[in-house]
Each structure stands twice: as structure tokens, then as C-alpha cells.
Structure 1
Amino acid sequence: MNTGARTRIRRSALGMAALLAVSGVGFAASAAQASPLHLPKPGEPDFGPNVTIVDPSWSVADINKALAAAGGESEFSTNRHAVLFQPGTYGSATGTDGSTQPTADLVNGAVGYYDQVAGLGASPDDVTINGAIHSDGQANHQAMPWAGGETALTNFWRSLSNVKINPIQKATEADIQANTYVDGEFPGVIPGVFTEGDADAGQLTWAVSQAAPLRRVDVAGNLSLFPRFGGYSSGGYLADSKVSGQVISGSQQQWYTRDSSIGSWNGSVWNMVFSGVQGAPAQSFPTPPMTTLATTPVTRDAPFLYYSGGQYRVFVPKARANTSGVNWSTDASAGRSLPISDAFIAKPSDSVQKINSALAQGKSLILTPGVYRYAQPIEVKRADTVVLGLGLPTLVPTRGNAALTTADVRGSVISGITVDAGAKKSAVLIQLGSRHGDSGRAHESQASDPALLSDVFVRVGGAEAGSVDTAIEVNSSHVILDDIWSWRADHGTGVGWTQNTANSGLVVNGDDVTATGLFVEHYQKNQVVWNGERGTTVFYQSELPYDVPNQAAWTDRSGRTARDGYASYRVGDRVRTHTAYGLGVYSYFNQGVDIVEASAIQGPTAPDVRFADMVTRFLDGSGSITHVINDQGAAVRLAQPGEDANVVETSYLTSN
């Protein structure tokens, strides 16, 4: 994702009337401040120094200091944080309903880079926040008076989950700095723009782009998904949540909402996708561009840490089919509750041999915040193993190895981690199942107990130099991919066509694999290759590589006839059953060369290979996408001289 590409899209394409009608206050994370240190009590697990556990004895001032300290990291920081709230009520409810002047005693904190904020209740309603824990725009240092100088285009790698919020947000000094841009300076408060007394009652802001899940959240008011003054934002994920009021999507180009309940929805840009959402708008793609499924075909929610009866436990939800609405149960019928003693709690100082030994003995794994650099992969070989990250821990292979592999076993669950490619090129970073099958184990994959990757974010370059052939490879059958962002970096360290080399972000060889919320961007060949049968995708967002140097370097010669460029989403020629809903593919070729992609989506012509609700976009730069899917759908390209707009878009409904 790149801010430059998005700030040059004409305002009408983003529905500016919708943007300017919305207000939602938040603040960019300030510099880290000292906060109280939660030391483990006798008998409590030690989650390390970067996990802060808040209990109801804390003052609001100390809570806000802790949130500021955890939320103040830079985009490519190596620090990681988790702030976890034990069951209880935090902050004063006075004024949170908007009927009276808000009290000063409000929880008010921003969720920043590599920052997980979560409740430790069995239900989200066990942790009530009066105030706001939010993600808002940051200054992009461009004079955009119509957009308030904000952006959420790089608001990545953060999460909020398992809390109830009675929302009201108050401005802070960080808000003021992020939103008062005049003549290249930040001189202070501009009258009518932002003051420290400003507050929005009844509204929570979660302005993000990819890699920033909102799960198991009960918002007792409205939810805004973009910055207060109409700044840009590009994609996100909401699941298993209730919003009693209105969700305002504003500038969000695409957004996926799964198995939730909302009061209403306001806004659309290129495609809003819903599955199993009570209160969702009716199916209406492309005018307005709403893709709505009554249920989610197959799902498995992410595992989570909780605190009950004086003990920490991990709840692992079961897989379900044809789901709708929230499911906050922790009964045995809803999943497994594991005592914390069943898990090995790892820290970055632990060796990979120690971790793998614990896994081989039947332990699950909790990765505490930090960066884990290993010369061999973490290996999951036993059925129903759970790998749970706290504070978005990062795995980095150091010798061209994979970061994490699983045998072809049922029910392995990996959630809440980031993976960076290492400087020595790896063949694969995450691999589920062997490419040739595990002798004696292939039968263990089961539809009733599928493997899960959830909230897993892969990066090639950006944070550090790295290369890979295939970022994520799924060879097992019966796998769910839920909220996945696989990113070949377009900015940061080690970025360039010959530097962060990477062919594909996801290759699926297994059968009966389902993706719910899939973001794959900037890889140098097909972003996604799907060879398995009976695959399903609900929501797909993809940008093509920006930095293609010439057409010869980006020509698909794998078939009988060479094709211009590589399709973003590629279903194998031998596949006979595949379904995908709500796909978006964007181009921004920024080398000043006329680069052409023949089709954004490519697949076999077969009765049971079906695509619904696809959109392509020319964002900026040069070149074009000739077709939406195969040889169907008109081109998107730079407008010709004399045409009214600088972008042309195509939406395409279905293909059989």
C-alpha cells in the first residue's frame, strides 16, 4: 500500500459527499510514556515485559499512559506490545451516550503499530471500556485541505478484540499535530478544525488499511472506519462483532465484515463485502457496490486468551458452517478451553529447538511480543496444536528456511503472528502440509476440524531486506484462511524489483480450502495461485506490483501463449470447482512505462468455476488492465486527453 498512489485518486471516485458528512475523532499515538508494570502474581504465567495486564484497580490516568506507551511505535519498529484488560469496567460512563457533557475520567488511547489491545473476558461484555480505544489518521505531510491532512493508508499491524466500548473520543495533542497542516508547518490549533476540548460522543473510530483486525467487539454506538476529516483508507476486517449504531465506511475502498450484527451501514466506494451479517445492506453490486451473502460458508474464529476463576485459559472455537451473527459462547459446544499449563509460553530469547521440543511433547505455543530469528522453522506436527501470538510477534528465518511449517494434520490453529522474509531467500515462509503429502497422515485432515490461519501477516521487504519464492503455501486439505495479508513491500527497507524478489503471496494446492478476508499485494508473478478443488474465497483485495521495469520482465509464459502481465488471482487450468465473491484488483505502475496486464483474474471455463462481483481499478501511474476476468470486462487505464476523469473503472458481475 502506498500513500502516493491513493492521494492522487480524484475525489469523486471516493464519494466525497459521504466523507465530509462524517466526523470521528482520534489521536495518533504519542511518544512512549512510563506506565505501571504488571508483575505476575504467584501462580500467574509470565508473559514477559511487553505484555501489560490491566485490572480494575488501575486509575484511568495510568491506563491511558499504558496505552500511549504501547501505541507509540513507528511503522517498522522491532518492538511489540500487548495491553490486556482483566474483566471489569474502566472509565466513567457519564456522557458516553452523548446526552450530557462527557466526564474527564475516560479511557482514551490509540492502538498503534505492533500493538494488540484485548479484553480477557470469556465474553466481550466482560470488559467494558467507557471512552475509546481507537485507531485514527496520521499526518501524511501533504497539503490536502479537503481531506484534513490525514491518512490511514499505512495504519497496519494492530488489533482490537474482546471488549465492549461505550464510545467517546477526546482530542489530544497528537490529534492536533496530525490535523493542523498549514504551509508545510504544524503551527498549532486551527479554529474550527481541532481543539483539545473536541469530543465525539457515541462514535468509535477504527481507521486502518489491512492487517488490523477488529474482532469480538461490542460497540455501543457508531463505528467509523476512516479518519475524521475524510483521509484515505484502504481495506479492513471486522468479525464476530456487534455495532448497535451505524457503521460508516467513508473512504474505505473495500471492506469485509463477517458474522456480525450491525444497526446499519453507510458508505461504499468500490466493494463492501458482507457474509453472515445481520443488518447488512442488501446485495446490490455494482450500484451501489455491495456484495452480501446471507451466511458465511465455512468459518473458524480465532483463538483467544481469557481469564476466568482466577486462571488464564485459551479458548479455541470450533469450525462452523453457514454461520450468521455473533457467537461469543465459550461452552464446550462452541470449542475447547485449554488451561494455560497446556501451552509453552515462549519469549524471543528461547531457542527454536526448545519451542519444537515443547510442541513435539504435545504443548501448544504462545509467542509473547518480540522478534524471533531462527535458522529452522517452528514445526507443528501434532493434531489440534494451537500457536497463538500476543502483540503480533514476528518470525524471521535466517538461513533460507521456512518460518513455520505444519504436518498434514487436522485442527492445527495458527493465529496472531507476522512473518518477515529473511535476507537469504526462502522457498516458502509458511507451509501447511508437505508438497508430497505426509505418509500416514494425509487422512487426518477433516472438514469437521479444519486447520486455521487467522490474523497472519507476511512481509517481504519493508521491515528488513528479504526474498522468497512463495510466501504462504497450503498443501493440506480442509484449511481456513481468515484475515490474511501477504505483502511484498512497496516502501521501507530493501524494496526494489531486484531486491525484495517474490513470486506469489499465496499458493493453494490442497482441496476444500476457504479464504474469508484475503489481501495479497505486489508480488512479481501471480499474487494468488489456486490449484486445489472446491476452493472458496469471500473477499479479495489486491494491488499489482508497482515497480515493474518493463513488459518483458512481467510476461506470463507459463501457458501455450504468452500473456501480458500475470493475473492477480489465478485458478489452475485443471480445477473444476471454485467459487469467489467480492474481488478487487488495482493497478499503479509507477516506473513511467506502459505496462499491461491482460486480465486481473484468470481461470478455466467450467460450469462450477464461478466468480461474482469483481472490480478493477486504475489508481495512477501508467499502463492498464485489459480485462477483468479472462477475456471479459472492459479495460481500466489512464484517461485519454480530453476525457473527463483521470481514472476509468470497470465492475464485472459474474462469470461461469
Structure 2
Amino acid sequence: MKRRTVIGGATAVVAAAGAATVAQALPSTTAGPNTSTSTAEPDFGAHVHVFDPSMSSAQIQSTLDSVFKAQETNQFGDERVALLFKPGSYDVTAKIGFFTQIAGLGLVPGKVTINGSVQADADWFDGNATQNFWRCAENLTVNPTGGVDMWAVSQAAPYRRIHLKGTLALDDGGWSSGGFLADSKIDGAVNPGGQQQWFTRNSTLNSWSGNGNWNAVFVGTKNHPKGNWPDVAFTRIGKTPVIREKPFLYVDDAGAYQVFVPALRTAVNGTSWESGSPAGESLPISDFFVAQPTNTAAELNAALQAGKHLLLTPGVYQLDRTLSVNRSGTVILGLGLATLTPLNGVIALETADVPGVKIAGILIDAGTTSSYALARIGPKGASADHTADPTSLHDVFLRVGGHSKARAERGLIINNHGTIGDHLWIWRADHDDSGGSKTGWSVNPAKVGLIVSGDDVTMYGLFVEHFQGYQTRWDGDRGRTYFYQNEMPYDPPNQDAWMNGTTRGYAAYKVADDVTSHQAYGLGSYCYFNVNNSVVADHAFEVPKASGIVMHNLVTVSLGGNQGTIAHVINDQGGSAGGSGAMSARVTAYP
């Protein structure tokens, strides 16, 4: 049979397998019918807290405070939490700690209003927010107490589909180091403060304070700040060339749970929702296998093979085999930064050469046996053109080490043509919670963070850090990157250990020699060689000299303390950062 849903002028056709076939193929944990009109609460497990307006503010606040107390400093723990608010108005203060997601369950942000705050602070680290990772706020309207709210974060901490009716501070009085703002409206000023780099996409701003620190990129954003690089640290792109917003869980007017999959948009400016009803398709929760961390990889694969999408509830999923996505249009949506850990060296997640797969809201955490890669989008040699219906990755994070003595040869491989990356952080850990015993040059080795082999791949808000070879290697043609943040590995023991032939060090961003067309806007690479400060990287960015390759607004930074040097920004151009030279160097355009 077919189920047809029309929202915002977009028609979605969802194919459903016969009920008997699905029931036979699915694991026994899915037994029990669920129709698209059911208002029954799905079994989200113990780590999803669903609030509704009938609950007292005191009751809700008690839960929020308890979760934050447990998660405020829990940077490398296994606990994962989702805080979900049904449509209505709430008078609460929500502080968001590690591995915590707060989200409204409305179709648009105005369906859920928080009168108080939704904030990430850095009190646990004396105002230093450079380790405020792995948290997210989504799909809410916030009326902040006193008119100001705070989202002092670094990597992997998205702020999405938020209507903030006030001012937003991006620091907590100290440094913060990289954040992501998308599909949001900020009525007051945005005060970046000590925010070193920031990416904003398809949002509506009132104003932006200051000239930025190192690198701030605005794509498809209304009322972006003015000024020209290198006098200010801003890169501005008027329209986003192609984007699909992140899928999200919501409750419809009848009280039924659905997952909304926003439509693909091209050449757009501003949010997807301010004009009223957003374009896209709604998938009933009955189309999803609602997974628990106790489910095995075999059970998850059986659900996928039966035509189900996956909703991964919070927790850590230990995978003894690869999750294989072979059906076009499949949605994998994580709640509470659901985490996939590959065992015995398998690849955690891979897709076939099919269109329209959406993967969102997950962390892939390397295991102690090295994997060839943590995730692979499309098989080697993928050849189909998926630009009309691309696979998209939203808030997908990968980690090697920190939690354990983990290892992987590669982080993410993208072979499928037309893939969109919408906020990725690929991180070889530079610190842990055990005095360094879980990190180090030979403790958590990983060679390459990201390999892009597909053509026509577009990245928005790409963060790749600390890998021992190339951080990012781009082999496909017609690639585009809008914002890139990188730190080179901190821990080369000496120069001989970190050589690429006769070149000192590896580039943070390498475009392959046979690529003829590539564009990149707003890229930063930083060094801090704290094991051996005599180490040098000859350049941060390495590209061939071809007329179709254009790199805009690049910066290198030595992070202080005379801890090593980046000799040139791109190829043999641009000044030195570090050593006896300047702290930073900039290049406006190459060539």
C-alpha cells in the first residue's frame, strides 16, 4: 500500500511493506501494531523524558536539574539523555550538559515556548567553554529571563530551529571554540565574545557584535554582519546552494508522533519555517523501528531490511556487525546523541549507492580494535548521480579515543555523488578523563579523518581534528565546503614521525592532484604541538593549480606558548604562524 502526506505544498509518497511481511522480519521487540493515527506514547526507554503542559513547573524543573547535575561534567561517560517538550508553554530553566538533547515536539518552533532559558554554560570549567561538546538544542521558542540566553559551546553542540526572543551570548566569559547555528531566528544581538570560530546557516539575525576572532562564516543568513576579510573574520555567502534541514520528531495536532523530513531546497536564504508551514514529508512513527541500546546489530539490520526507518533512543549501541542501509530514502534519527560503537574492527554504518538517505543526530565512537573506517557513505566506485535526491548527514559526529583506547584507520568515507554534510565533527581525541592514558600518538592512532571520493559533495560546518595524516582528503570533483575548522595533531613525538615524503607534516585539507573543480569558503587550521614544539607543518592547505579550484578566506593560527609552526597557509603562499613568527596568518583567495 502507499501512504501519502502533503505538507507545505510538498507531496511525499511513502511505500509500506505488507503488514505480515514486516511483522515476520522484525525482531520480537517490535511486536504490537501501531498505526499512523495512534496517539499512544512510543516506548522511548528510560533516558527520554517527555514533558507536557499539564505537568507542574516544579516537577519539570526537578527533572531538568537532576539530568544536568548528572551530565554537567560527564564528558566521556556512557549516559545519553533526551528532553522532549510537547506543544505548549513552560516556565523552566534548562541547563544542558554533555550528551543531552533538548527539543520541542512541534512542527514549528512556535509550538513549544520556554519562558526562562535554554543554556549551555561553562561553570564546570571556570568559564572555559573549549570542551563544551556533545549537546544540542532544537525546535523551540525561548523567552529568556532578563532578555539574554547563553550557548557557550565548542564542537558538536548545534543550536537548530530556535526562535530566541532575546540576545544570545556564545561564551561564558572565557574562550569557546566553534559552534553551529542553523534554521534559527535571533531577535536580539548575537554576542560571540571569546568564540574563536562559528558557523551560521539559513538563519535570521538582528545583529552581530564585534568583528569576530578567527573565522566566522554566514551562509544564506539574513542580516549577516558587514565587513570584508581580512579586516574582519567574516565570510558571507548570500544563498545556500542546496540544503535539506535535519529531520526531527514531532507530535501532530491529533497527538500522534511523526518524524518530519524537510524538503530539499536550492538557492535559499533564511529559515525553513518563518513563512508558515515548512515543506517536506511526515513519516508516522509506525514506519520506524524504535530502537533501544539493548538491540543487537542483527535486529537493527532486520528492521532496515523489512523497510523500516530507525529511531535510535539514547544510549550506546554495541555493534558486532555493520548497520547496512540499502533502501533509498531511509531515515536514521538519533535521540540524545545515540552512539554507535563498532566491535571487532567492523565499520559501524554504511550505505549502498542509493539516493535520499538521511542520517542525523548520532555519534560514532571507535572501538578498541581498529576499523577500516567508522562510517562509509556509498561503496567504493559508487557511480549513480544523486544530486536530485542526495544523501544528507546532519549532526553526525565521529570520535576516536578519549572514552577508551580506541583506534581507526579512517573516520568517514563519502563515495556517493551529491552527498550533503550538514554539521560534522570528526575527532581524534586529544584529551581524556584519565590523565592522558586513553590518548596519545600510539594509544589512539587514526590516519585520516574524512575522505571524499564522490563528486558534487557539499559540506556546511565541517570540523575535523587531530588525525595523524591528512585531516581531510578531497578526491571528488566539484566539491564545496562552507566553513572548515581544524586542529592538527597535538602529539607528534618528533618531526620524523610526522612526515609526508619530503614534506613536513600533512595538510589539514588536501585536494587531490587530479581534481579540476573545487570551492571552499572560510577555512581555519590551528597548531599546538605540545609534545615536541619544534615540529613544523609546511602548509595547512594543499591544492592543485587548476583554474576551477578557488579557495576563499583561509587562516592559520598557532595556539600559543610557542608550540610549533605552520610555515605557509596554502601551498607555498601565506605567512608563518607560530615559532618566531606571528600567531596567525591569512590568505584572502587562492589563486
CA contact (8 A) 1:549 1:593 kept: no
Supply the distance in 1 between the matched residues of 2:199 and 2:178 (Cα, whole angstroms): 8
Question: Which one-letter code corresponds to 1:151 in the other structure?
Answer: N
Partner in structure 1 of residue 218 of structure 2: 274
Partner in structure 1 of residue 590 of structure 2: 655
1:619 has 2:559 as partner: yes
Supply the distance in 2 between the matched residues of 1:298 and 1:578 (Cα, whole angstroms): 16
Supply the distance in 2 between the matched residues of 1:632 and 1:596 (Cα, whole angstroms): 16
Partner in structure 2 of residue 154 of structure 1: 131
Q: How much has 1:109 moved relative to structure 2? A: 2.0
Partner in structure 1 of residue 466 of structure 2: 522
Partner in structure 2 of residue 247 of structure 1: 190
Question: Which one-letter code corresponds to 1:80 in the other structure?
Answer: R
Partner in structure 1 of residue 291 of structure 2: 346
CA contact (8 A) 1:387 1:415 kept: yes
Supply the distance in 2 between the matched residues of 1:84 and 1:633 (Cα, whole angstroms): 48
Cα-to-partner distance string for 1:252-311 (whole Å, 9 max, x where unaligned): 111000000010001310111101110101251111111111111221110000001210
Supply the distance in 1 between the matched residues of 2:487 and 2:518 (Cα, whole angstroms): 22
CA contact (8 A) 1:223 1:243 kept: yes
Question: Which one-letter code corresponds to 2:397 in the other structure?
Answer: F
Supply the distance in 2 between the matched residues of 1:622 and 1:468 (Cα, whole angstroms): 27
Partner in structure 2 of residue 49 of structure 1: 46
The structure-2 alpha-carbon separation of the partners of 1:44 and 1:331, relative to structure 1 and needing over 3 Å to count, comes to farther
Supply the distance in 2 between the matched residues of 1:81 and 1:139 (Cα, whole angstroms): 19
Report the 3-state secondary structure (helix = DSSP H, G, I; strand = E; otherwise coil) of the residue aligned with 2:373.
Answer: strand
Match of 1:508 among 434, 437, 452: 452
Supply the distance in 1 between the matched residues of 2:342 and 2:122 (Cα, whole angstroms): 33
Q: How much has 1:133 moved relative to structure 2? A: 1.3
Question: Which one-letter code corresponds to 1:231 in the other structure?
Answer: G
Supply the distance in 2 between the matched residues of 1:554 and 1:64 (Cα, whole angstroms): 51
CA contact (8 A) 1:368 1:389 kept: yes
Q: How much has 1:577 moved relative to structure 2? A: 0.3
Question: Which one-letter code corresponds to 2:128 in the other structure?
Answer: T
Report the 3-state secondary structure (helix = DSSP H, G, I; strand = E; otherwise coil) of the residue aligned with 1:63.
Answer: helix
Partner in structure 2 of residue 32 of structure 1: none
Supply the distance in 2 between the matched residues of 1:139 and 1:480 (Cα, whole angstroms): 35
Cα-to-partner distance string for 1:182-213 (whole Å, 9 max, x where unaligned): xxxxxxxxxxxxxxxxxxx1011000001000
Partner in structure 2 of residue 356 of structure 1: 301
Q: How much has 1:593 moved relative to structure 2? A: 3.7
CA contact (8 A) 2:39 2:257 kept: no
Cα-to-partner distance string for 1:23-53 (whole Å, 9 max, x where unaligned): xxxxxxxxxxxxxxxxxx9722111111000
Supply the distance in 2 between the matched residues of 1:403 and 1:507 (Cα, whole angstroms): 16
Supply the distance in 1 between the matched residues of 2:256 and 2:66 (Cα, whole angstroms): 27
Match of 1:310 among 255, 262, 265: 255
Partner in structure 1 of residue 406 of structure 2: 466
Report the 3-state secondary structure (helix = DSSP H, G, I; strand = E; otherwise coil) of the residue aligned with 2:203.
Answer: strand
The structure-2 alpha-carbon separation of the partners of 1:478 and 1:594, relative to structure 1 and needing over 3 Å to count, comes to same
Q: How much has 1:349 moved relative to structure 2? A: 0.8
Partner in structure 2 of residue 396 of structure 1: 341
Cα-to-partner distance string for 1:69-122 (whole Å, 9 max, x where unaligned): 22232111101000000000112xxxxxxxxxxxxxxx1121110100000000
Q: How much has 1:336 moved relative to structure 2? A: 1.3
Q: How much has 1:58 moved relative to structure 2? A: 1.4
Report the 3-state secondary structure (helix = DSSP H, G, I; strand = E; otherwise coil) of the residue aligned with 1:153.
Answer: coil
Supply the distance in 1 between the matched residues of 2:192 and 2:440 (Cα, whole angstroms): 33
Supply the distance in 2 between the matched residues of 1:42 and 1:326 (Cα, whole angstroms): 29
CA contact (8 A) 1:122 1:330 kept: no
Report the 3-state secondary structure (helix = DSSP H, G, I; strand = E; otherwise coil) of the residue aligned with 2:572.
Answer: coil
The structure-2 alpha-carbon separation of the partners of 1:360 and 1:415, relative to structure 1 and needing over 3 Å to count, comes to same
Supply the distance in 1 between the matched residues of 2:188 and 2:307 (Cα, whole angstroms): 44
1:90 has 2:90 as partner: yes
1:378 has 2:378 as partner: no
Report the 3-state secondary structure (helix = DSSP H, G, I; strand = E; otherwise coil) of the residue aligned with 1:65.
Answer: helix
Supply the distance in 2 between the matched residues of 1:523 and 1:293 (Cα, whole angstroms): 29
1:409 has 2:354 as partner: yes
Supply the distance in 2 between the matched residues of 1:90 and 1:55 (Cα, whole angstroms): 9
Partner in structure 2 of residue 553 of structure 1: 497
Q: How much has 1:321 moved relative to structure 2? A: 1.4
CA contact (8 A) 2:178 2:195 kept: yes
Mark the runs of 5 or more structure 1 residues left unpaired by the alignment: 1-40, 92-106, 141-148, 169-200, 641-646
Question: Which one-letter code corresponds to 1:638 in the other structure?
Answer: G
1:478 has 2:421 as partner: no
Partner in structure 2 of residue 145 of structure 1: none
Partner in structure 2 of residue 66 of structure 1: 63
CA contact (8 A) 1:330 1:337 kept: no
Partner in structure 2 of residue 598 of structure 1: 538
Partner in structure 1 of residue 119 of structure 2: 134
Supply the distance in 1 between the matched residues of 2:278 and 2:522 (Cα, whole angstroms): 32
Cα-to-partner distance string for 1:117-138 (whole Å, 9 max, x where unaligned): 0000000000011000110113
Partner in structure 2 of residue 295 of structure 1: 239
Partner in structure 2 of residue 430 of structure 1: 375
1:532 has 2:532 as partner: no
Q: How much has 1:602 moved relative to structure 2? A: 0.3
Q: How much has 1:331 moved relative to structure 2? A: 8.9
Supply the distance in 1 between the matched residues of 2:400 and 2:188 (Cα, whole angstroms): 39
CA contact (8 A) 1:270 1:289 kept: yes
Supply the distance in 1 between the matched residues of 2:366 and 2:585 (Cα, whole angstroms): 35
Question: Which one-letter code corresponds to 1:211 in the other structure?
Answer: A
The structure-2 alpha-carbon separation of the partners of 1:347 and 1:329, relative to structure 1 and needing over 3 Å to count, comes to farther
CA contact (8 A) 2:492 2:532 kept: no
CA contact (8 A) 2:39 2:255 kept: no
Q: How much has 1:369 moved relative to structure 2? A: 0.3
Cα-to-partner distance string for 1:506-561 (whole Å, 9 max, x where unaligned): 0000000000000000000010000000000000000000000111111112xxxx
Partner in structure 2 of residue 78 of structure 1: 78
CA contact (8 A) 2:272 2:278 kept: no
Supply the distance in 2 between the matched residues of 1:433 and 1:573 (Cα, whole angstroms): 23
Partner in structure 2 of residue 208 of structure 1: 153
Cα-to-partner distance string for 1:417-466 (whole Å, 9 max, x where unaligned): 001111000000010011133xxxx43x4212110111011110011121
CA contact (8 A) 1:421 1:465 kept: no
TM-score by length of 2: 0.90
Q: How much has 1:628 moved relative to structure 2? A: 0.4
Q: How much has 1:361 moved relative to structure 2? A: 1.3
Question: Which one-letter code corresponds to 1:153 in the other structure?
Answer: T
Q: How much has 1:330 moved relative to structure 2? A: 11
Question: Which one-letter code corresponds to 2:388 in the other structure?
Answer: S
Report the 3-state secondary structure (helix = DSSP H, G, I; strand = E; otherwise coil) of the residue aligned with 2:337.
Answer: coil
Alignment coverage as a number of residue pairs: 544
Supply the distance in 2 between the matched residues of 1:70 and 1:375 (Cα, whole angstroms): 30
1:125 has 2:122 as partner: no
Moved more, 496-505 or 277-286: 277-286
Supply the distance in 2 between the matched residues of 1:220 and 1:206 (Cα, whole angstroms): 14
Question: Which one-letter code corresponds to 1:633 in the other structure?
Answer: G
Partner in structure 2 of residue 491 of structure 1: 431
Partner in structure 1 of residue 10 of structure 2: none
Supply the distance in 2 between the matched residues of 1:600 and 1:70 (Cα, whole angstroms): 41
CA contact (8 A) 1:315 1:330 kept: no
Supply the distance in 2 between the matched residues of 1:125 and 1:401 (Cα, whole angstroms): 42
